[in-house]
Structure 1
Amino acid sequence: MRPARALIDLNALRHNYRLAREVSGARALAVVKADAYGHGAVRCAQALDGETDGFAVACIEEALQLREAGIQAPILLLEGFFEADELALIEQHRLWCVVHSAWQIDAIEQASLRAPLTLWLKLDSGMHRVGFHPDEYQAAYQRLLRSGKVAKIVLMSHFARADELDCPRSDEQLAVFEQARQGLLAEVSLRNSPALLGWPNVPSDWVRPGIMLYGATPFEQAQALADQLQPVMTLESKIIGVRELPAGEPVGYGARFVTERPTRVGVVAMGYADGYPRHAPTGTPVLIDGKPSRLIGRVSMDMLTVDLSDLPQAGLGSHVELWGKRVLASDVATQAQTIPYQLFCNLRRVPLLYSGN
């Protein structure tokens, strides 16, 4: 069997969720959209079931997958519904739903519902993706109340630059939110992972931990709370070939790396078809049999190459950690000029193996 695999530590997942609850002092929806950021939504939800205040997913398809797996906790649809006929399923499966557009309120007003809905009313406070304009927010809230089809409304917005700890944009968005919600007596949800970790003065009755659940920091710099996170995923494989090359030899596609000295090259069963970033440059850290080394040359579809020159004991069958407990996904992402969110979400083909059930 091909040795590439991803190990998922469910105890680390629970630790990170508990940290979110502890530092926020709020109720927390575990965000398991996009197959739990590549970690496996069903298994991650099952690991948190009975402990979490609920879950958040992008769409109804993801919610139904959890319901079919036996998850009965509240599930919030972060993108809301896309067609009016989804409201019947939302009611049937007791889903919570974000409302961000006037046409969704139209659909709710016209729907025949036997039970009232729990809705999260989204304000566009400056992200400028979806959400009601501040001038429209109060009217949207009142329309939902008058519809007679709402059991509860939570007020929410989303920060665009909370991962930039020295940026005033989050404070500006908070001011817009506070002005727009004046006089509305409802619970509030503003804090995703970076806002939860880095903006303690932002009010939230509900928080929405996402990337932090999986043990990766949302920040480019060190941050005290983020340093307490435990990586959940370890992406690993093995050395499947070794080459002894003299100085001056190119390695891999495009000759992006040329040996400067006699070099032992290890070939690893891992490539961009598995989700490892193709644009990771020479020097990106890896761990070989527990010792630090580096990527050399261009990443291929199914293989990549690493430097074994200073690791004489390493060879065929040596264990390689691509990211995980010691090679942080955030460090790999920085080298590849991307973010750990994308590393996790791009994972495919490799089997997920779980521990800590």
Structure 2
Amino acid sequence: MTLLEEPPRSLRLRIDQTAIADNWRMLDALSGSAETGAAVKANAYGVGVEAAVPALLAAGARSFFVAHWSEVAVVRTLAGQASVSVLHGVRNDQEAAYARATGAIPVINSLHQAQVWSASGGGPCHLMVDTGINRLGIAPSEIGDPAIRALAIDTLMSHLASADEDSALNALQLQRFREAAAAVPAKRLSLANSAGIARGADFACDLTRPGLALYGGVPHPSLAGRIRQVAFPEAAILQIRHLAPGDCVGYNATWTAQRPTRAATVSIGYADGFLRQMGLGCALQHEGRALPLLGRVSMDMVVVDASDSTAKEGDFLEIPCELPEVSRRSGLSQYEVLTVLGQRFARN
């Protein structure tokens, strides 16, 4: 059977690559003399590595970070000779062999991982030391272990737990990191994520690892007004309905028309990352006019009030994706709002 070309999708996502590059350059300037890398894990936080990595390369990024080994191949292809590091490290011989085959650098997180890497032949790696977030990383007390001493450590890393707020833990983690650095023969030090960069030069060290702020997130108040929005989703109107007073909309009939209402059913739902929490107090946009949501978000659809709009079937509506505002309204973190973007969007 001959398959026809796929028709145009009713969902589209415009990614502003210039904004990604501008955001990286701004964070690079804030990083001072430190190198500025880029976290591109989780498909570049949902915006797509195919759009993000070329933009970041063009801006000057040369060190990329992913979480899973399954993310390496596409980033390696896009990043060329740039460094690709895997934050979850090497759990077994297969992952160690894959690291060698791809040239990706593992971040060693435990004595077991150190032993796996050394047994596979060793070589350059990074080392994560836990200074207070209690996720991945060796304990400071394990720094002197022979398995750690046997490593060829390029970068000693840690991760801030509360960089987005004024917490005493930030200074404590920095102190613990400096103590660890004094005991580890690493070439470079890396501590700051996006919010950590905003905390100043003491946290920048030799290499910063921004993520969320590259893609439009504002994880620290000092970055407000300096980070550009990157993701711009749109969805098409599937049908216009004319509701009479008393007509209900959506699952569980949570909205009832009080007046004649021109309602538009729109091709986006929680399967596309537009979660029910995002619908609370939300309005889609058409030619500068707000179209408030009616009722609950469904898997594939929402309904909006188009009474004061000229929008018609087939027109595309703008979906709010200014991360700080959507986060404030929905109660979701900016990370969640962005990384749940679905796979049904046509992406530029």
Please give the TM-score of this superposition, normalised by the length of structure 2. 0.89
Q: Does residue 41 of structure 2 align to residue 41 of structure 1?
A: no
Shift of 1:350: 2.3
Mapping of residues 144-159 of structure 1, within 5 Å: 144-145=148-149, 147=150, 150=152, 152-159=153-160
Q: Hey, what's the Cα distance between the residues in 2 that align with 1:80 and 1:59?
A: 8
Q: Does residue 166 of structure 2 align to residue 172 of structure 1?
A: no
Q: Does residue 31 of structure 2 align to residue 24 of structure 1?
A: yes
What is the aligned-residue RMSD (CA, Å)? 2.2
Shift of 1:254: 1.0
Q: Hey, what's the Cα distance between the residues in 2 that align with 1:154 and 1:352?
A: 38
Q: Contact conserved, 1:268 with 1:303, CA < 8 A, in 2?
A: yes
Mapping of residues 84-123 of structure 1, within 5 Å: 84-112=93-121, 116-117=123-124, 119-123=125-129
Helix, strand or coil for the counterpart of 2:264?
strand
Match of 2:136 in 1: 130
> Greater share of helix residues, 1 or 2?
2
Please give the TM-score of this superposition, normalised by the length of structure 1. 0.87
Q: Contact conserved, 2:65 with 2:86, CA < 8 A, in 1?
A: yes
Match of 2:212 in 1: 211
Q: Does residue 68 of structure 2 align to residue 59 of structure 1?
A: yes
Which structure 2 segments of 5+ residues have no match? 1-7
Helix, strand or coil for the counterpart of 2:303?
strand
Structure 1 residues 240 and 81: CA distance shift in structure 2, 3 A? same
Q: Contact conserved, 1:283 with 1:296, CA < 8 A, in 2?
A: no
Match of 1:323 in 2: 320
Helix, strand or coil for the counterpart of 2:276?
coil
Match of 1:242 in 2: 240
Helix, strand or coil for the counterpart of 2:142?
helix
Helix, strand or coil for the counterpart of 2:30?
helix
Q: Hey, what's the Cα distance between the residues in 1 that align with 2:194 and 2:235?
A: 30
Which amino acid in structure 2 is aligned with residue 53 of structure 1? R
Match of 2:3 in 1: none
Structure 1 residues 277 and 199: CA distance shift in structure 2, 3 A? farther
Deviates more, 1:223-232 or 1:299-308: 223-232
Structure 1 residues 282 and 248: CA distance shift in structure 2, 3 A? farther
Structure 1 residues 55 and 203: CA distance shift in structure 2, 3 A? closer
Match of 1:337 in 2: 331
Structure 1 residues 67 and 281: CA distance shift in structure 2, 3 A? closer
Which amino acid in structure 1 is aligned with residue 90 of structure 2? F
Deviation digits for residues 7-44 of structure 1, max 9, x if unmatched? Answer: 11111111111111111122122111111112221332
Q: Contact conserved, 1:268 with 1:306, CA < 8 A, in 2?
A: yes
Q: Hey, what's the Cα distance between the residues in 2 that align with 1:181 and 1:265?
A: 61
Q: Contact conserved, 1:99 with 1:120, CA < 8 A, in 2?
A: yes
Aligned-residue sequence identity (percent) comes to 32
Helix, strand or coil for the counterpart of 2:93?
coil
Structure 1 residues 261 and 343: CA distance shift in structure 2, 3 A? same
Shift of 1:206: 0.7
Deviation digits for residues 128-154 of structure 1, max 9, x if unmatched? Answer: 1111112223x15x6444x3x62x431
Shift of 1:199: 4.7
Q: Hey, what's the Cα distance between the residues in 2 that align with 1:196 and 1:293?
A: 38
Mapping of residues 238-277 of structure 1, within 5 Å: 238-277=236-275
Query: Of the candidates 302, 306, 309, which is equivalent to residue 308 of structure 1?
Result: 306
Helix, strand or coil for the counterpart of 1:235?
strand
Q: Hey, what's the Cα distance between the residues in 2 that align with 1:185 and 1:312?
A: 64
Query: Of the candidates 17, 22, 27, which is equivalent to residue 15 of structure 1?
Result: 22
